[in-house]
């Protein structure tokens, strides 16, 4: 096998808001590089990258897909990432192992929320990027404001290195501002174009734009700036060198134009990917922790022991688990062994694959910079580090965002619960933003994810891959009950029906405890009025009874039960009799102790653009929320509040509606509070009906 020259490798992610055309762009790249025989289309289901039934049904990318092509004697690995907010963590995890990105912006709708989110991921990861303004052939397309918006909204200087020729249905190519040539495309989706002189009516504008471009490029180095200020013309080589430097250093972002569906402007973008975006060697070393010394250590792409990072897992009922990882250093051979330093276990490697959309291409070996897959690893999961056992290193993983929507799952067929939960756990392994757990109070299995679409897709995958069908329903709110005053009450159980009878007599004092203190049992018996062997039975009777309170059947918390007096019968008393007596005393006492209903209160952080802050605060107040404060982050406000869980079970779609999908939120449990009387009455009524 010929060793790959890592300096001629590019690992590039394609990101955008959903519907901007990034999958169509990737399909155009594969077609132009002759990796596919026809131009794949998302709309008619012929895309090689959006191949899952759930993606074809919705015409969206749900899971990052991978392919590669050769261009200008360079190898390019491309990753088509999801543009829907429900699946943005998948995009983020894929970007974490890449070296550059192409940001696709829709010329008809401009910069949208997922564009901003993807851009922020690239900023966080330090990824150089290019911008491709797509859909220049569409009605109402306009690029005039997008250059300014990149600066204003995304916070980065945009440098146009092209200008469009024509607009809407008259769009037919681009002017290359570096070489000052017009690239005019044939109207047939073939990608064929001719290099011509710039049309007379565009020459003045092209000259003006080129002047701006040259000025921006000149500022990338003292040498170029000196030549520029002295009035010397910068050569084509100077411009390319400065363009790459400015892109790599993220001084600016080059902007190109085209139409992915009509295959216009894609080849020049492919040229700029290999010319401007960095190779793994240029991106440099990766830092980790040496397992032996516990010190920080770096791995460079060349001449280092094998190391890699797992960024994605795919669950498949037929081939088993497929593990995707980026090799940071060294070489991995098929039919070998590697070390999972995160779990500290050895893993047997069978065949190594390079992903090609739905397909996989076997590889004898893979080296630094490569993105590959291995099937049926037993212990390895997303976020794990892999390495040579003799040079153990652990790379820092990424933290997945907490799920924001939760539903109870219920099998459609009786007896399918075990199969459904086991299969859901396999999907959780594939997707770190999914969680499944059993609520000990409500006994429901709770499935949580990043949005309604996320959970709908999960259920479709569950049925398609594992044959398990479940339904979603709103989870029960885990209310609790407590008491507000102290009482003393007797529980006496006496039964005589021939033969030996039953007798137990227990007096309890019930009193409230502070919030969060749970249940406390105190033995205050003196003088042997109740024999020692029966006292634990009284406590057991109370413990079993507190699972169902008297108001609406919810668990009773935060109270003390003191056993203060009682009596017994030398023949008829038993542990069972005193257990029943304890239960009877508790149930009667609770009714007299001013019982109240408690509800869970959640801490919330709601992040929204400045202009939505007032509406969101008003909405939180209407949900019985208490706004605790606000923080500012960039152009966003982070609103901190405490809100009853019952009021935010369906908050995700409401927030999306109020903010045009630009708001995000997170929640975590805070404490329990007393439910207002008018709401408590409704809960009790609903409980009785159930």
Q: How far apart are CA 72 and CA 278, in angstroms?
A: 15
pLDDT greater than 70 at residue 2: no
pLDDT in tens, 511-540: 999 998 999 999 999 989 999 999 999 999
pLDDT in tens, 336-366: 999 999 999 999 999 999 999 988 999 999 9
Q: Which two tokens stand for residue 49?
A: 């990258």
Radius of gyration for the chain, computed over Cα atoms and rounded to the nearest angstrom: 33
- pLDDT level of residue 42 (50, 70, 90 thresholds): confident
Residue 390 has φ and ψ, to the nearest 5°, of: -85, -5
pLDDT greater than 90 at residue 303: no
pLDDT greater than 90 at residue 302: no
Task: Output the pLDDT for position 674.
Answer: 95
Q: What is the mean pLDDT of residues 183-197?
A: 92
CA distance readout (Å), 352 to 315, 349, 389, 546: 17, 8, 19, 57
Beta carbons within 10 angstroms of residue 473's beta carbon: 11
Contact of 351 with 337, CB cutoff 8 Å: no
Contact of 93 with 123, CB cutoff 8 Å: no
Q: How far apart are CA 444 and CA 262, in angstroms?
A: 51
3-state SS, 138-185, equals CCCCCCCCHHHHHHHCCCCCEEECEEEECCHHHCCEEEECCCCEEEEE
pLDDT in tens, 95-122: 999 999 999 999 998 998 889 889 999 9
pLDDT in tens, 323-334: 999 999 999 999
Q: Which two tokens stand for residue 128?
A: 């150089």
pLDDT greater than 70 at residue 1: no
Task: Output the pLDDT for position 550.
Answer: 87
Q: How far apart are CA 13 and CA 208, in angstroms?
A: 32
The CATH fold of domain 292-395 = Elongation Factor Tu (Ef-tu); domain 3 (2.40.30)
pLDDT greater than 60 at residue 590: yes
Q: How far apart are CA 134 and CA 436, in angstroms?
A: 39
pLDDT greater than 90 at residue 417: no
pLDDT greater than 80 at residue 499: no
Q: How far apart are CA 570 and CA 558, in angstroms?
A: 35
Task: Output the pLDDT for position 27.
Answer: 96
- pLDDT level of residue 402 (50, 70, 90 thresholds): confident
Task: Output the pLDDT for position 24.
Answer: 95
Contact of 605 with 639, CB cutoff 8 Å: yes
Which CATH code for domain 480-593?
A: 3.30.230.10
- pLDDT level of residue 144 (50, 70, 90 thresholds): confident
The whole-angstrom distance between residue 326's C-alpha and the CA centroid of its chain comes to 19
Contact of 254 with 131, CB cutoff 8 Å: yes
Task: Output the pLDDT for position 367.
Answer: 94
Nearest in space to 30 (alpha carbons), one of 14, 8, 15, 44: 14
pLDDT in tens, 477-492: 999 999 999 999 999 9
Q: How far apart are CA 166 and CA 195, in angstroms?
A: 16
The CATH fold of domain 598-689 = Alpha-Beta Plaits (3.30.70)
Contact of 90 with 117, CB cutoff 8 Å: no
Q: Does domain 406-473 have CATH number 3.30.70.870?
A: yes
Write b or e for each residue in 549-570: b if 16 or more Cβ atoms lie within 10 A of its Cβ, otherwise e.
bbbbebbbbbbbbbbbbbebee
Task: Output the pLDDT for position 498.
Answer: 66
Contact of 368 with 6, CB cutoff 8 Å: yes
Q: What is the mean pLDDT of residues 382-403?
A: 91
3-state secondary structure of 684: helix
- CATH 3.30.70.870 maps onto the chain at 406-473
- CATH 3.40.50.300 maps onto the chain at 8-282
Residue 372 or residue 316, greater confidence: 372
The whole-angstrom distance between residue 259's C-alpha and the CA centroid of its chain comes to 30
User: Which percentage of the chain shows pLDDT scores above 70?
Assistant: 99
Q: What is the mean pLDDT of residues 220-238?
A: 92
pLDDT in tens, 440-460: 888 899 999 998 899 999 999
Task: Output the pLDDT for position 632.
Answer: 86
Task: Output the pLDDT for position 145.
Answer: 87
- CATH 3.30.230.10 maps onto the chain at 480-593
Which CATH code for domain 8-282?
A: 3.40.50.300
Q: How far apart are CA 22 and CA 132, in angstroms?
A: 9
- pLDDT level of residue 52 (50, 70, 90 thresholds): confident
pLDDT in tens, 663-686: 888 888 999 999 999 999 899 888
Name the strand (E) or helix (H) holding 206.
Answer: helix 200-218
- CATH 3.30.70.240 maps onto the chain at 598-689
pTM: 0.84
Q: What is the mean pLDDT of residues 267-291?
A: 95
pLDDT in tens, 194-220: 999 999 999 999 999 999 999 999 999
pLDDT greater than 80 at residue 500: no
- CATH 2.40.30.10 maps onto the chain at 292-395
- pLDDT level of residue 557 (50, 70, 90 thresholds): very high
């Amino acid at each position: 096998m010929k060793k790959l020259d890592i300096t001629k490798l590019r690992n590039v992610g394609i990101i955008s808001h959903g519907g901007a055309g990034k999958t169509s762009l990737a399909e155009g790249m594969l077609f132009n590089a002759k990796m596919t025989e026809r131009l794949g289309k998302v709309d008619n289901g012929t895309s090689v990258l959006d191949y899952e039934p759930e993606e074809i049904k919705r015409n969206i990318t749900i899971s990052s897909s991978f392919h590669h092509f050769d261009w200008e004697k360079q190898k390019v690995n491309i990753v088509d990432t999801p543009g829907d907010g429900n699946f943005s963590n998948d995009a983020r995890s894929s970007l974490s192992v890449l070296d550059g990105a192409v940001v696709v912006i829709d010329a008809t709708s401009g910069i949208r929320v997922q564009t901003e989110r993807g851009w922020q991921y690239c900023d966080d990861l330090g990824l150089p990027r290019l911008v491709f303004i797509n859909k220049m052939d569409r009605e109402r397309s306009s690029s005039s404001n997008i250059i300014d918006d990149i600066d204003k909204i995304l916070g980065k200087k945009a440098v146009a290195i092209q200008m469009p020729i024509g607009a809407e249905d008259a769009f037919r190519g681009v002017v290359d501002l570096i070489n000052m040539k017009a690239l005019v495309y044939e109207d047939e989706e073939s990608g064929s174009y001719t290099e011509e002189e710039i049309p007379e009516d565009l020459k003045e504008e092209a000259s003006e734009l080129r002047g701006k471009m040259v000025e921006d490029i000149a500022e990338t180095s003292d040498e170029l700036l000196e030549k520029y200020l002295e009035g010397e013309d910068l050569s084509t080589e100077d411009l390319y060198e400065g363009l790459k430097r400015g892109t790599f250093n993220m001084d600016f972002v080059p902007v190109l134009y085209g139409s992915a569906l009509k295959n216009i402007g894609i080849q020049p973008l492919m040229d700029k990917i290999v010319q401007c975006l960095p190779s793994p060697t240029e991106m440099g070393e990766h830092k980790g922790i040496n397992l032996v010394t516990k010190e920080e250590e770096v791995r460079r792409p060349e001449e280092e022991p094998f190391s890699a990072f797992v960024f994605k897992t795919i669950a498949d009922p037929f081939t088993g688990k497929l593990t995707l990882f980026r090799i940071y250093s060294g070489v991995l051979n098929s039919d070998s062994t590697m070390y999972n330093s995160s779990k500290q276990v050895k893993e047997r490697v069978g065949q190594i694959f390079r992903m090609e959309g739905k397909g996989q291409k076997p590889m004898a070996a893979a080296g630094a910079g490569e993105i590959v897959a291995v099937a049926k690893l037993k212990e390895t999961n997303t976020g794990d580090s892999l390495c040579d056992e003799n040079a153990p290193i652990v790379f820092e993983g990424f933290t997945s965002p907490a799920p924001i929507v939760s539903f109870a799952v219920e099998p459609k067929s009786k007896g399918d619960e075990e199969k459904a939960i086991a299969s859901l756990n396999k999907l959780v392994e594939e997707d770190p933003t999914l969680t499944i757990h059993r609520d000990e109070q409500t006994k429901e299995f709770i499935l949580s994810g990043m949005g309604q679409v996320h959970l709908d897709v999960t259920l479709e995958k569950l049925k398609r891959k594992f044959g398990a069908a479940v339904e979603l329903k709103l989870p029960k709110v885990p209310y609790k009950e407590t008491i507000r005053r102290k009482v003393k009450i007797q529980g006496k159980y006496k039964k005589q029906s021939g033969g030996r009878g039953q007798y137990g007599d227990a007096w309890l004092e019930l009193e409230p405890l502070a919030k969060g203190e749970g249940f406390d049992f105190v033995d205050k018996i003196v003088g042997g009025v109740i024999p020692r062997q029966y006292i634990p039975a009284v406590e057991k009777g109370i413990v079993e009874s507190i699972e169902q309170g008297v108001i609406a059947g919810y668990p009773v918390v935060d109270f003390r039960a003191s056993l203060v007096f009682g009596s017994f019968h030398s023949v008829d008393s038993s542990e069972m009799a005193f257990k029943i007596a304890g239960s009877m005393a508790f149930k009667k006492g609770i009714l007299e102790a001013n019982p109240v209903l408690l509800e869970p209160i959640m801490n919330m952080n709601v992040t929204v653009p400045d202009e939505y802050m007032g509406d969101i605060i008003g909405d939180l107040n209407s949900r019985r929320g208490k706004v605790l404060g606000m923080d500012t982050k960039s152009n966003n406000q982070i609103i901190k509040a405490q809100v009853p869980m019952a009021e935010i079970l369906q908050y995700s779609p409401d927030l999306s509606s109020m903010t045009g999908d630009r708001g995000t939120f997170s929640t975590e449990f805070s404490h329990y509070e007393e439910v207002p009387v008018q709401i408590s009455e409704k809960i009790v009524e609903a409980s009785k009906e159930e």
